[in-house]
Amino acid sequence: MKFVFPSVIILLFLAISLGSLGIVGIQFWVKTAAAAPIPTVCPVFTSPGGTCIDDSSDSDSGAPDGSSNNGTDGESSTTNGGTTTASGGGNTKPSNTISKGRGWSLKNGTDYSSVACAPGSTDKGVYKHPKNGFKIRKCSTKVGLVSSLISQRTVDMIAAAKAAGVSLSGSGFRSYETQQSLYSSNCSSGGCSPPTARPGNSMHERGLAVDFSSCSKGGKVYNWLKKNGSKYGFYNLPSESWHWSMSGN
């Protein structure tokens, strides 16, 4: 009997020790579980690498990475064919236009009229081409009416010429009907005199050309334009010293 009491004491000590370890273990497990990240449930689908792709963004750009597709700097307008951008000046080609000659021209059936006229020009309303279907906004400048797409560069060019002591004037836009009348007057089966574009093909109908006054080869106006016109996107038609456009046609 003298050995029973110490044995009981030892067993009680072991039981208490094991119980304490169990409680500590349970506390550790609870803390670990609470700190563990909650698995993400993908709302739509995952990428091939397993990354969750969330399509709940409000972006409507259509870009695969969800980024905004704002195009280039400048005034812009949404058209049936995309976004049209009028450059702030210089000789850049606006988006949603086509390459032509030495520069660019308009796409048939495209609405460019939402682009505003530049400061320094006056809005003269919208023109829809009866044959080719494009729409432009006409802007009055000191060299005549031009499309709003080139109104800023035209205003800038006039100011630059004035600073150099050259006064620019002339005529720009003409309607399809006016071009028809000119073609009938200037052209016959033997050709056109002076050279006249067929109705529907003239850059004037698009508001992208100017016939400059007093612009004979070797003259003050011609020499200034020859040196500086391309800085603003204006290129000369070699057969007509006075005719400058965005394509050179």
Give yes or no for residue 4 having a pLDDT over 80: no
Give yes or no for residue 39 having a pLDDT over 80: no
**Encoding tokens for residue 211?**
């016939």
**Encoding tokens for residue 154?**
């035209």
Report if residue 39 sits inside a domain.
no
- Could you tell me which residue, 26 or 99, shows the higher pLDDT? 99
Which structural domain, as residue segments, surrounds residue 148?
75-245
Share of the chain above pLDDT 90, in %: 61
* Per-residue model confidence (pLDDT) at position 25: 47
Residues 192 and 199: beta-carbon distance below 8 Å: no
Report if residue 133 sits inside a domain.
yes
Number of domains the chain is built from: 1
Residues 96 and 122: beta-carbon distance below 8 Å: no
Q: pLDDT tens for residues 161-209? A: 999 999 999 999 999 999 999 999 999 887 998 889 999 999 999 999 9
We report the CATH number of the domain holding residue 176 as 3.30.1380.10
Lowest mean pLDDT among 5-14, 93-102, 150-159, 226-235: 5-14
